């Protein structure tokens, strides 16, 4: 397995984990009181937007040649950091 493939698999696993976390937040939102539901869904929408960006970056990575993928790595790492920070913020806020 190449470094690129290993990196792709790592990012896909992280995206899958984030999907599960967003689903947990949705479940909490569904059971929250009306005033909290709005807060939950606002944060969930924000997370999904960042997640979509990260997913697009992963697609770019998958389509990049073996020589060019490392050039994309910095932008991808940045998108993943944003997603991770937003998720941590949301989960800590709604515990």
> Whole-angstrom Cα distance, residue 53 to residue 95?
26
Model's pTM, two decimal places?
A: 0.76
Residue 9 has pLDDT above 90, yes or no: yes
Task: Determine contact, residues 19/54, Cβ cutoff 8 Å.
Answer: no
For domain 3-93, give its CATH number from 3.40.50, 1.10.860, 1.10.340, 1.20.5.
1.20.5
**Token pair in block for residue 29:** 């939102």
- DSSP character at residue 32: S
Task: Determine contact, residues 42/93, Cβ cutoff 8 Å.
Answer: no
Q: Give the pLDDT confidence of 20-55 residue by residue, as tens digits.
A: 988 988 898 888 888 888 888 888 898 888 888 888
Average pLDDT over residues 67-87: 79
**Token pair in block for residue 85:** 């920070």
Structural domain spans, the chain: 3-93
């Amino acid at each position: 397995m190449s470094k690129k493939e290993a990196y792709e698999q790592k990012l896909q696993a992280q995206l899958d984990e984030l999907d599960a976390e967003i689903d947990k937040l949705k479940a909490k939102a569904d059971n929250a009181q009306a005033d909290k539901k709005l807060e939950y869904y606002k944060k969930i929408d924000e997370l999904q937007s960042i997640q979509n960006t990260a997913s697009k970056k992963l697609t770019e990575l998958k389509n990049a040649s073996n020589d060019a993928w490392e050039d994309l790595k910095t932008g991808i790492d940045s998108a993943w950091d944003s997603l991770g920070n937003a998720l941590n913020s949301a989960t800590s806020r709604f515990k």
